[in-house]
Structure 1
Amino acid sequence: MYKKALTSLTILFFMMGFITCLNDILVPYLKSIFSLTYAQAALIQFCFFAAYGLTSIPFSKLIEKMGYQKGMVIGFALAALGCLLFYPAVLLHTYALFLAALFVLASGIVLLQVAANPCVAIIGPKETASSRLTMAQAFNSLGTFVAPFFGAYFILSGLTNSIYAEGVVYPYFLIAGVLIVIALVLSKINLSGMESAQADESRWQDVLKEKGLLLGVIGIFAYVGAEVAIGSFLVNYVMEISHVSETQAAPLVALYWGGAMVGRFIGIFTLKAFAPAKVLMTHALLAVLLILVSMQTTGTLAIATMALVGLCNSIMFPTIFTLGIKGLKDGQEKKGSGLLATAILGGAIVPLLTGLLADRLGLHHAFILPVICYVYIAWLGLRNFTKA
């Protein structure tokens, strides 16, 4: 049962990464189609990640009642519905409808996140939870690595001949079909052993009083915000520096996410060999250094150093997540996961603020906001390391 559960969860993580990373292709695509400013284009990520802030806790309550497996099946179905809603958005050529479709799609991803993260943490020994979640996140990163190539070929390649954003219809219909098939298969697998036997009688306020969880919530907000802000504007950043087309710049987004994938596979071993908090602090400090170098340079060096931040991001989510729920009592994982998933709202707020800065100061200088986020994460790692 353990292997079957872990295999199902890794497939789930792959699809979550693939769908989420396609937003990085939608940003330059819809920016061009609708002639948007950076701030307006950032609404794509805002509507997608706002779903985390609005639905994570309600979905956590839902999973408490119906269990992990049913929650994941509904999550896949809801995400498929969001993909299908791209069709009327194209027909009516309305940017607001694209944003609404993304919110529905993201709501399905939220439900999957809230169910999947604690599952990976509790199906094996607590001592290896960070390593196990990092492995699952590595397949999430594989999805984010593949998505830019998929998006560049099926979506961005037709940008010059596209008027009504019709390039997104068939790719998202294909994704909807895959999600529906996965939902049907998952509904037939017996994963009842994943459910926590410990009932949770605590209140949400009691769970949030755990200081480690609260700091973890802020850490997830900062991490996701910084990662998404860089990924969202990387195509435009490369275009601005090297004067290439969207299609030519898109593969560099794959390198950014590919770095996270490679780092997560390496992290499976480093998180066993070293204290997770120490690894987190080191990665965050490296991210700060790389972004500052990119901001102060131009050409290949500026692009390469920004893309390498993806490697630093690799172990951040699983490490912050497991450090956040470490002090919780048995049975409180679902509530803790819901609160941590709510913090993914950072992916809505930080890119939007970065877009506003880019419109005023230029994209080069706007990345100071992700720097601030990584400084906090470095402090969080230091605090947990010295406390251990």
Structure 2
Amino acid sequence: MTTTVANNVGSKPKSSLLPMTIIGVLFFIFGFVTWLNGSLIPFLKIICQLNEFQALFVTFAFYIAYTVMALPMSYILKRTGYKNGMALGLLIMVVGSLLFIPAAQTANFVFFLVALFVLGTGLTILQTASNPYVVHIGPAESAAMRISIMGLINKGAGVIVPILFTALVLSGLDNFSSEHLAALSAAERNVQIEALSSRLIMPYIYMAVALLFLVALVKFSSLPELEFESDEENQEKGSISQFPQVVLGSIALFCYVGVEVIAGDTIGLYGQSLGVQNFASLTSYTMVFMVLGYIIGVTCIPKYLSQEKALLGSSIAGACCILGIIFSSADSTMIADILWGWTNIPTIPDTVTFVAMMGLAHALVWPSVWPLALRGLGNFTAQGSALLIMGISGGAILPLVFGKVAEATGNTGLGYWVALPCYLFILFYALKGHKMRKWK
């Protein structure tokens, strides 16, 4: 039996326009806040004087909120409803944005981590509520296409953010580095750190104001509520753990988000280690490739490409990218020369290009896993969504593993081996895991 929505919000094309528009705005915010981390990591590495492993606690603090808060947020959604829950999530993000002010004023890394955790908490309830909206707002077979549209918006924000961050925060500081700070006296170093960290204050004030506007937009909009009918086939099941496709889907998303964050948030560190200029903006390269992947999803699913085949192709392409990172040249820019060398966009070494191309390889994993995992859950949908959201904790844990490998080997590039088993598990889910309805 397929899942149905009690108020049948997807029955008329007209009824889905407003929800898709509002959810699209929210997905832009997801991308804006999430992919800001890619630029924030090398920035905080300098002003807080961190090594690579310590700097990657930025991703840990942000993404671990999804693990800690996902199930509590699902219970809140049951009490508040999806619409009010999204407004609450935005309000929590306002608080997180404002916490960056004292963090920047003190240049205290712990304060930054607390602010990032609060931002992640707000995003947790937003993600838990909004993804089922997109899945169930229209036909099941085109759900991946709709999520691809949201992903296109999300990653479009990811393209803009590093460029904006570089312009607002790093402008005029091309020679500012850890080595530059180390050569200064303690007093001079503190003055420069204070001046640099203070540049974060206004951008996060602007973010808080924008989020407050969105709170009002969601709260007072005519966004319909999702109410799921009880599924008779699921009545004998007492918990979400009895749905293998969801549990395995959560693990697949754990792997996916981990490699997505590694591709987007470590490319700056990798470029920095290889002496690539404007390393803080390298996240934009990964995001551009992800946008291309989502365009493929929007145009090809379900007409030319099924959700299952999209997932299969993503896992294989991702594994190939990892091999490309490890074995390609750090001196040659041949691939970049061919792909965009004829434009004014700066080229990058082949090995860094393969990191960016991971964005294209795994772009369709998230849109494909969600509809496959939520299929047939009925009134277990909120719990299933929360379990899938917990998979986002891969963005907290796997980058730390990456950082530890990179630190232990003294070679940032070798850290990308961590992503290979992740792509192999996604391959398993594409071939078998999403079909499982019983553990035995």
TM-score range, shorter chain: over 0.9
Moved more, 106-115 or 183-192: 183-192
* Aligned match of 1:168: 200
TM-score, length-normalised on structure 1?
0.94
- Answer whether contact 2:42 2:280 (CA < 8 A) is retained: no
Query: Which of 256, 271, 276 matches 1:223?
Result: 256
- Answer whether contact 1:260 1:314 (CA < 8 A) is retained: yes
CA shift, 1:270, in A, is 2.2
Residues 162, 189 of structure 1: alpha-carbon distance in 2 compared, 3 angstrom cutoff: farther
CA shift, 1:199, in A, is 5.4
Unaligned runs of 5+ in 1: none
Provide the secondary structure at the position in 2 that maps to 1:308: helix
| More helix by percentage | 1
| Aligned: 1:271 with 2:334 | no
| Aligned: 1:252 with 2:289 | no
* Aligned match of 1:122: 136
CA shift, 1:239, in A, is 2.1
CA shift, 1:203, in A, is 9.9
Higher Rg: 2
* Aligned match of 1:345: 393
Provide the secondary structure at the position in 2 that maps to 1:156: coil
Counterpart of 1:179 in structure 2: which amino acid? L
1:166-219 deviation line (CA, Å, top 9, x unaligned):
121111111111111111121111113x32142589699622211111110100
* Aligned residue-pair number: 383
CA shift, 1:162, in A, is 4.6
- Answer whether contact 2:47 2:107 (CA < 8 A) is retained: no
CA shift, 1:331, in A, is 2.1
| Aligned: 1:74 with 2:83 | no
Instruction: Measure, in 1, the Cα distance between the counterparts of 2:398 and 2:43.
Output: 20
1:47-96 deviation line (CA, Å, top 9, x unaligned):
00010000011101111111111011111111111011011112222110
Provide the secondary structure at the position in 1 that maps to 2:239: helix
* Aligned match of 1:103: 117
Instruction: Measure, in 1, the Cα distance between the counterparts of 2:223 and 2:26.
Output: 14
Residues 162, 292 of structure 1: alpha-carbon distance in 2 compared, 3 angstrom cutoff: farther
1:248-303 deviation line (CA, Å, top 9, x unaligned):
12333101011111211221232212221121111111111112111112232112
Provide the secondary structure at the position in 2 that maps to 1:220: helix
Counterpart of 2:32 in structure 1: which amino acid? F
Q: Percent identity?
A: 29
- Answer whether contact 1:13 1:136 (CA < 8 A) is retained: yes
Instruction: Measure, in 2, the Cα distance between the counterparts of 1:158 and 1:71.
Output: 41
The 5 A counterparts of 1:357-372 are 357-361=405-409, 362-372=411-421
Instruction: Measure, in 1, the Cα distance between the counterparts of 2:128 and 2:426.
Output: 22
Instruction: Measure, in 1, the Cα distance between the counterparts of 2:218 and 2:362.
Output: 30
* Aligned match of 1:53: 67
Counterpart of 1:79 in structure 2: which amino acid? M
TM-score, length-normalised on structure 2?
0.83
| Aligned: 1:177 with 2:226 | no
The 5 A counterparts of 1:1-388 are 1-157=15-171, 159=173, 160=176, 162-164=192-194, 165-192=197-224, 194-198=225-229, 206-241=239-274, 243-245=275-277, 248-272=278-302, 273-297=304-328, 298-299=330-331, 300-328=349-377, 330-361=378-409, 362-383=411-432
CA shift, 1:318, in A, is 1.4
Runs of at least 4 residues off by over 4 Å: 199-205, 384-388
